[in-house]
A and B are shown apart, each in its own frame.
Chain A
Amino acid sequence: MHVVESGIGPLIQPPDMNAFREWNRKHKTKALVDKLMSEQEAVARFMFDGAYIGTELYGTVRCPMSLIREVIRQGYKDLRVAGQGVMELDILLATGRVRALDITYIGNEVYGISANLRREVESGRVQQVVEWSNGGITWRFKAAAMGVPFIPVRSMLGTDTLKYSAAKVVECPFTGEKVALLPALILDVGFIHVHRADRYGNCQIDGIAGFAVEMARACKRLIVSAEEIIPTDEIRKRPDRTAIPYYLVDAVVHAPFGSHPGEMCYVYRRDEELIREWVKEMEQPDTAQAYLQKYVYGPKNHDEYMDLIGRDRLESLRYRKGGER
């Protein structure tokens, strides 16, 4: 196949599909074993310095915030990150420990640009920044989920987004038209927050699935946090609801309000006041560090975080039963 154009960005995490197969055979147990553990244990067991990580969904929406706070608490450095996110990546950047980004979007949506992204990239502390689109990065996960080394798509063509990516443009061997080939993206460690899981890691997600289905299948290690731990009988009653089956999952963490200050659809809404506080505190480096001290390093774990926020405050964010507002 004739390569017409190559993105100049480095391939931060080169795909090796045979190694991924071997990994899935050797390191992913197919037995139904209890994987329920604390967030400290889950993160300590699977995270390492230099890991390539990813989070799903993002920032204010069904986001594994409690797990990310624990990753920060444990101090891993030289992180490489799949950059589709809002608060969870903003706060990770605030630690100064991110070295490489495959970026599609890091920002605060209605609240504007991420001050931490600006500081970390403009200072050069993030040493590699490789561009993709949202569709692009998800399709990279999809390729990994399919077990193939790349996926052809019609996004990114003709743009600097492609030029500064690690994609390639080829002439399609069937039609002769140009298509972009995106390399499969396999995470060292993935983090996903779900509505319900059993102890083995079978997960149910309500509402939109974002990119959980694809990303869950593109991880060497997957840590799942869940609002609720349910009996496997409940999973078996509705197997069609299992978005992430147990064998993909390495650790299950019980994390009620795990997406706070973001929302969890049908369960609780965004904590707007604390989101605004976050955005404001992140504007300056010293207040950003003060924020980390107060909300991340201060509480020893998610339980203490919930105490800090206040149980009544958290309960007040809940939708009335049936998901009504």
Chain B
Amino acid sequence: MSTEYNPRELLICVAARLMEDGTTAFIGTGIPMLAAALAQKLHAPNLVTVFEFGGTGAILEELPLAVGEERTFHRALSATGICDTMETAQRGFIEYGFLGGAQIDPYGNLNSTVIGDHARPKARLPGSGGANDVGSHCWRTIAIMQHDARRFVPKVDFITTPGYLTGPGAREAAGLPPGTGPYRVVSSLALMGFDDETKRMKLLAVHPGVTVEQVIQNTGFELLLADRIEETPPPTDEELRLLREEIDPHHLYI
């Protein structure tokens, strides 16, 4: 029997396993950062992290609490500025981008701007930040979300960050770089991808102890189902040891 773990640790492990070695990932604070640190210690020692305000290739010995702080360029390869990182993404150099939000729709469009009407919002959220740029320019974006029907909605109140917009061909028609777009959604319940033809979200795997029915009930739109739905392997003892002892020993995030 494997070690007990909490939902956040599982999310970090699932996200980490998606990152390939020898490529670049645009990283925000929180789970993506922990996932990148974990991937670097396991299968992706040459994963180059890019933080939006200018840090590229940091060694994540200590966890940053802000996307611009010193730890985002600790022993890094370069420390430039936001124009450089965003332009690097715009030129096609950045493979993965991590995103989050208050709402996501079947096409992977994300809202982090307002709940309700823009002119008189029920809730004013922080806004795009770098998310719109990441979602526009990175080749493959991975959204990390809490999974419930309030967050997985048929239509987001506001498209802050582009997913596949209204479906196949819509990104290209809007002028976004071809070949880019949502790749995976890692939620508290499951792992999802996007159907090649319809560009709609598709359930690929459920987390340990979660049923397909549970995922469907907690999704506010019709979720496509992969022919064979896998079960996410639980965090390994080694993943948990690295997370707890080396990556976040003070339990700031986990």
List the interface of chain A (C-beta within 8 A of B): 57-62, 83, 86, 103-107, 109-110, 113-114, 117-118, 121-122, 124, 129, 131-136, 138-139, 142, 153-161, 164, 169, 177-180, 207-214, 263, 265-266, 269-270, 272, 325
Contact = CB atoms under 8 A, between A and B. Distances in A.
B126 A60 contact: no
Give the interface residue-count category, chain B: 35 or more
A154 B52 contact: no
Interface in B132-166: 132-133, 136-137, 158-162, 165
B47 interface: no
A175 B55 CA distance: 33
Contacts of A213: 81, 83
B81 A212 contact: yes
Contacts of B66: 59-61, 86, 109-110, 270
A133 B30 CA distance: 20
Greatest chain B CB density within 10 A among A210, A214, A272 is at A210
B70 A121 contact: no
A155 B138 CA distance: 11
B120 interface: yes
Given A110-B30, A154-B175, 18 more contacts: A58-B68, A62-B68, A105-B130, A106-B126, A107-B126, A113-B126, A122-B120, A122-B123, A139-B86, A154-B90, A154-B176, A155-B137, A161-B160, A164-B113, A178-B173, A178-B175, A208-B72, A211-B53
A154 B127 contact: no
A138 B86 contact: yes
B234 interface: no
A106 B118 CA distance: 16
Contacts of B127: 83, 103-107, 131
A133 B53 contact: no
Interface string B73-94: 1000001111100100110000
B69 interface: yes
Interface in B87-124: 89-90, 109, 113, 118, 120-124
Contact of B68 (A113, A160, A210, A325): A210
Given A110-B65, A113-B126, A131-B113, A178 B83 contact: no
A132 B78 CA distance: 26
Contacts of B130: 105, 133-135
A265 B68 CA distance: 10
A270 to B, nearest CB: 7
Contacts of B161: 159, 161
Given A265-B69, A265-B70, A133 B133 contact: yes
Given A109-B65, A208-B53, A135 B70 contact: no
